[in-house]
């Protein structure tokens, strides 16, 4: 487990925001570690340290939300598992349930979804 993480977690509600963002990046397509790192750096606008990324990827693998496979001797690929997909849906559902409190917000969410279809 990475530092400052609880010994046992019970799903997406116990993941850090950084771990949830890893899941979202992997929701698009499987990626090797450096590609995940680049996506996160673009999102955060700053460097993501290897010492932060890989322990969190390993934690997500341990939790069964991410699958790790070897592309070659030096490169691993990471992919969302069914549990990882459900974790992303669970988190989105919870956030949208809280956020979509008005018709105006609901319309904005529909616009965002339509934009990505």
Q: Which domains can be identified in the chain, with CATH numbers?
A: 12-115 (1.10.10.10)
- Rounded Cα gap, residues 79 and 26, in angstroms: 6
pTM of the model: 0.84
Angstrom distance (rounded) from CA 66 to CA 97: 25
Question: What's the average model confidence in pLDDT over 40-44?
Answer: 98
Asked if 43 contacts 21 with a C-beta cutoff of 8 angstroms, the reply is yes
Residue 76 is predicted with a pLDDT of: 95
pLDDT the model gives residue 72: 87
Distances (CA, A) of 105 to 60, 86, 88, 100, 101: 32, 24, 21, 5, 7
Say what percent of the chain tops pLDDT 70: 91
Mean pLDDT of the chain: 90
Q: 8 — phi, psi (to 5°)?
A: -130, 135
Share above pLDDT 90 across residues of the chain, in percent, rounded to a whole number: 84
């Amino acid at each position: 487990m990475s530092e400052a993480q609880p010994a046992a977690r019970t799903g997406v509600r116990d993941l850090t925001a950084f771990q949830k963002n890893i899941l979202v990046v992997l929701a698009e397509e499987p990626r090797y570690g450096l590609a995940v790192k680049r996506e996160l750096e673009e999102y955060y606008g700053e460097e993501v340290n290897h010492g932060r990324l890989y322990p969190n990827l390993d934690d997500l693998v341990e939790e069964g939300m991410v699958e790790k496979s070897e592309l070659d001797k030096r490169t691993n690929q990471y992919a969302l598992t069914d549990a990882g997909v459900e974790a992303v849906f669970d988190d989105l559902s919870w956030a949208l349930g809280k956020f979509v409190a008005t018709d105006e917000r609901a319309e904005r969410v529909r616009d965002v979804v339509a934009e990505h279809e």
